[in-house]
Amino acid sequence: MSTKKIGIGIVGLGRAGWGIHVQDTRRRRDYRIVAVADPLPERRAQAERELRCRSYESLSQLLKDTEIELVTIATPSAAHGPDAKKALRAGRHVVVEKPMAVTVREADSMIAAAKKARRKLFVHQNYRFDRNYTYLKGVVDSGIIGKLFAIQLHMPAFTRRYDWQTLAKNGGGVLNNTGPHYVDQIINLLGSPVVEVMGDLQRIASAGDVEDHVAAFLRARNGCTAQMTISSAQNITPMPPYRWVLCGSHGTCMANHESSTINYFHPNKVKPLKAIDGPVMSRAYEHNDLPWRTKTVKAVGPNVGNFYDNVHAVLRNRAKLHVTPESAREIIRVIAMIRKGTDFPGRAIAKR
């Protein structure tokens, strides 16, 4: 087991670069922020002052720094693919922010570049490590609600945004910003590849030329379906009590980020049903009363560590990637299916 620190270079010091990647690594004993890159001199000066690291104006300059082993790409979404491939070709391992890419073809080229360079490509799908998600996955895998047949996710908010993520040329939009987290979780909960999708994308409240409201219906090969709404144009008060609803053959799980209620029954404690063909004296909908049980628990699942724990384990201890590039590529494929036929194709190409 190697104790050598990983020298990291972080490209882009915006909300994700500074607020997530810098904060997640700056106080770790197994990482050292060697350098950063950002076009704004004020941001570079802040990094030099607070992190005691070197700073560069561009990725090209940063890649000349030989102490950097791992490059984190936190640039605008449309630049993720070109920037990641540039770092891979320079012989660096790469962490790339979500979305991995803006097209499936670009995602494929990133995977190919990593294999050719014999370097690791880590996609920052950090919600795969979230204990709320590991709880939901545990509920499904436990069988307590039976065979999963439907998923509902509702994420409402009302935010009139006007930053770079409201522009298609940057790969913006709610589906590329918030969407990858929840599309990823839904894909893994479905348990089978997505084969059919209907998407409705609209721009309601924000500036720019991309969607701020996403509604999608997904069907997996195994027949399980998912309804997903992620909106920056819904002011719902009070907020819905549950973000997630998981529907199974003998139970339902309703969960937000803190707590969960499961209504379920044991199928071996109910009699088999046989349909009645003909009139009945009761003149009613014939049904059985079921021995329902209810339990309310914290929606907190197993601790599988965090994203940068896994990056370190892979690079130093030859552990397996918790988020493979191929699984992140599947997110891009499903996002492309959601966009198909809408007014927001999302095929921005970065000019680098």
pLDDT (tens digit, 9 = 90+) per residue, 74-126?
A: 999 999 999 999 999 999 999 999 999 999 999 999 999 999 999 999 999 99
List, in sequence order, every residue forming a beta bridge with 9; answer none if it has no partner: 35, 71
Please name the residue that has the structure tokens 């993520």.
165
Residue 22 pLDDT more than 60?
Answer: yes
Q: What is the largest CA-CA distance in the chain?
A: 85
Residue whose C-alpha is closest to residue 189's, from 130, 118, 249, 138: 138
Q: What is the set of domains in the chain, with CATH numbers?
A: 6-128+305-323 (3.40.50.720), 130-298 (3.30.360.10)
What's the pLDDT score for residue 19?
Answer: 98
Sign, CA torsion 191/192/193/199: negative
The model's pTM:
0.94
pLDDT digits (tens, 9 = 90+) for 36-79: 999 999 999 999 999 999 999 999 999 999 999 999 999 999 99
How much of the chain, in percent, has pLDDT values that exceed 90?
91
pLDDT digits (tens, 9 = 90+) for 213-235: 999 999 999 999 999 999 999 99
When pLDDT is averaged across residues 239-259 and rounded to a whole number, the result is: 96
What's the pLDDT score for residue 350?
Answer: 34
Instruction: Name which of 21-30, 170-179, 284-293 the model is least confident about.
Output: 284-293
List, in sequence order, every residue forming a beta bridge with 217; answer none if it has no partner: 198, 227
Q: 237-255 in b/e burial notation, b at 16+ Cβ within 10 A?
A: eeeeebbbbbbbebbebbb
pLDDT digits (tens, 9 = 90+) for 303-332: 999 999 999 999 999 999 999 999 999 999
Instruction: Please give the structure tokens belonging to residue 117.
Output: 């360079």
What's the pLDDT score for residue 1?
Answer: 64
The residue with greater pLDDT, 181 or 275, is 181
Angle, CA 222 vertex, CA 112 and CA 270 arms, to 5°: 145
What's the pLDDT score for residue 352?
Answer: 30
- Residue 347 pLDDT grade (very low, low, confident, very high; cuts 50, 70, 90): low
How much of the chain, in percent, has pLDDT values that exceed 70?
98
